[in-house]
Amino acid sequence: MATPIQAEASNITAPTQFVATGVETYAYRRFGRGSGGAPPLLCLQHFTGTLDFWDPAVTDPIARGREVILFENAGVGRSSGEVPDTMAGMAAHVLAFIAALGLTHVDVLGFSLGGVLAQVIALERPSLVRKMLLVGTAPEGGEDIMHLEKPELKRILDDPQLQGFQRLVKLFFTASESSQAAGQAYAQRLAARRQDRESVSGPKVAGAQLAAFRAWERGDGGERFTKLREIRQPCLVVNGVLDQMISVRNSYALAEHLPRAMLLTYPDAGHGSLFQYHDSFVRQASLFLGETPR
Amino acid sequence: MATPIQAEASNITAPTQFVATGVETYAYRRFGRGSGGAPPLLCLQHFTGTLDFWDPAVTDPIARGREVILFENAGVGRSSGEVPDTMAGMAAHVLAFIAALGLTHVDVLGFSLGGVLAQVIALERPSLVRKMLLVGTAPEGGEDIMHLEKPELKRILDDPQLQGFQRLVKLFFTASESSQAAGQAYAQRLAARRQDRESVSGPKVAGAQLAAFRAWERGDGGERFTKLREIRQPCLVVNGVLDQMISVRNSYALAEHLPRAMLLTYPDAGHGSLFQYHDSFVRQASLFLGETPR
DSSP string, A56-125: HHHHHHHHTTSEEEEE--TTSTT--SPPPSSHHHHHHHHHHHHHHHT-S-EEEEEETHHHHHHHHHHHH-
pLDDT of B3 reads: 47
Reference B63, options B35, B94, B36; nearest CA is B35
What is the pLDDT averaged over residues B167-181? 98
For residue A287, the chain B residues in CB contact (below 8 A) are 283
Instruction: Tell me how close the Cα of B234 comes to any Cα of chain A, in angstroms.
Output: 10
pLDDT of A292 reads: 56
Q: Which residues pair with A44 in a beta bridge?
A: A71, A110
| B89-138 tens-digit pLDDT | 999 999 999 999 999 999 999 999 999 999 999 999 999 999 999 999 99
pLDDT of B235 reads: 98
For residue A261, the chain B residues in CB contact (below 8 A) are 267
| B221-233 tens-digit pLDDT | 999 999 999 999 9
Q: Give the total residue count for chain B.
A: 294
Given a cut of 80, whether residue B193 has pLDDT beyond it is: yes
Per-residue pLDDT of chain A (294 residues; tens, 9 = 90+): 444 544 469 999 999 999 999 999 999 999 998 766 789 999 999 999 999 999 999 999 999 999 999 999 999 999 999 999 999 999 999 999 999 999 999 999 999 999 999 999 999 999 999 999 999 999 999 999 999 999 999 999 999 999 889 999 999 999 999 999 999 999 999 999 999 999 999 999 999 999 999 999 999 999 999 999 999 999 999 999 999 999 999 999 999 999 999 999 999 999 999 999 999 999 999 999 997 544
What is the pLDDT averaged over residues B138-165? 96
What is the pLDDT averaged over residues B155-159? 96
Interface test with B, best of A178, A228, A233, A241 (most B CBs within 10 A): A241
For residue B268, the chain A residues in CB contact (below 8 A) are 259-260
B175 by Cβ neighbours in 10 Å (0-12 / 13-18 / 19+) ranks as exposed
Rounded Cα distance between B187 and B174, Å, is 14
Q: Which residues of A touch B (CB under 8 A)?
A: 241, 248, 252, 255-256, 258-268, 280, 283, 287
Rounded Cα distance between B102 and B92, Å, is 15
pLDDT of A35 reads: 66
How, if at all, do strands B25-32 and B17-20 pair?
antiparallel
What is the pLDDT averaged over residues B163-169? 93
Rounded Cα distance between B90 and B35, Å, is 29
pTM of the model: 0.96
Given a cut of 70, whether residue B192 has pLDDT beyond it is: yes
pLDDT of B1 reads: 40
- Report the run of H or E that residue B170 belongs to, with start and end: helix B165-172
Instruction: Tell me how close the Cα of B270 comes to any Cα of chain A, in angstroms.
Output: 12
pLDDT of A1 reads: 40
Q: Which residues are CB-contacts of B96 (< 8 A; sequence separation ≥ 6)?
A: B21, B23, B24, B26
Rounded Cα distance between A268 and A240, Å, is 7
- Report the run of H or E that residue A249 belongs to, with start and end: helix A248-257
A83 by Cβ neighbours in 10 Å (0-12 / 13-18 / 19+) ranks as buried
| B33-87 tens-digit pLDDT | 876 678 999 999 999 999 999 999 999 999 998 999 999 999 999 999 999 999 9
Q: Which residues of B touch A (CB under 8 A)?
A: 241, 248, 252, 255-256, 258-268, 280, 283, 287
Yes or no: say if B148 and B80 are a contact pair by the CB < 8 Å rule: no
Rounded Cα distance between B13 and A286, Å, is 35
- Checking phi first, is residue A88 left (phi over 0); if not, alpha (psi -120 to 50) or beta? alpha
pLDDT of B292 reads: 56
For residue B283, the chain A residues in CB contact (below 8 A) are 287
- The pLDDT-based confidence of B293 (bands split at 50, 70, 90) is very low
Q: Give percent of chain B with pLDDT exceeding 90.
A: 92
Half-sphere exposure of B227 (CA within 13 A, CB side): 19
Instruction: Tell me how close the Cα of A223 comes to any Cα of chain B, in angstroms.
Output: 19
Q: Which residue type occupies B195?
A: Q
Interface test with A, best of B132, B265, B276 (most A CBs within 10 A): B265
pLDDT of A8 reads: 67
Q: Which residues pair with B236 in a beta bridge?
A: B133, B262
| Candidate from B255, B256, B266 with C-beta closest to A262 | B266
